[in-house]
Amino acid sequence: MEFASLSEFLEMGGHGPYVWTAYAVTIVIMIANIVSPILKRKAIIKKQAQKLRRERLSQ
């Protein structure tokens, strides 16, 4: 497709809001799929470290 200007490209023949919203939602979901496991892993490691410290103190 050819567009005469940047604003035409952004408007996408009147479908711009739908197209760019779809891109935005996709990017947010992809970022969440990357960040969520990292945060969960850190929380699990922290919880296990606390549990190990408690066990060592109780012995």
pTM: predicted TM-score of the whole model, two decimal places: 0.71
**Distinct helix (H) and strand (E) counts, the chain:** 2, 0
Residue 3 pLDDT: 86
Q: Cα–chain-centroid distance for residue 38?
A: 11
Find, among 17, 18, 13, the residue nearest to 2 by Cα.
13
Q: What is the pLDDT of residues 4-57, one digit of tens each?
A: 999 999 999 899 999 999 999 999 999 999 999 999 999 999 999 999 999 999
| Separation CA 14–CA 9 (nearest Å) | 10
- Largest alpha-carbon pair distance within the chain? 75
Exposed, middle or buried, 12 (CB in 10 Å: 0-12/13-18/19+)? middle
**Which comes out higher in pLDDT, residue 59 or 7?**
7
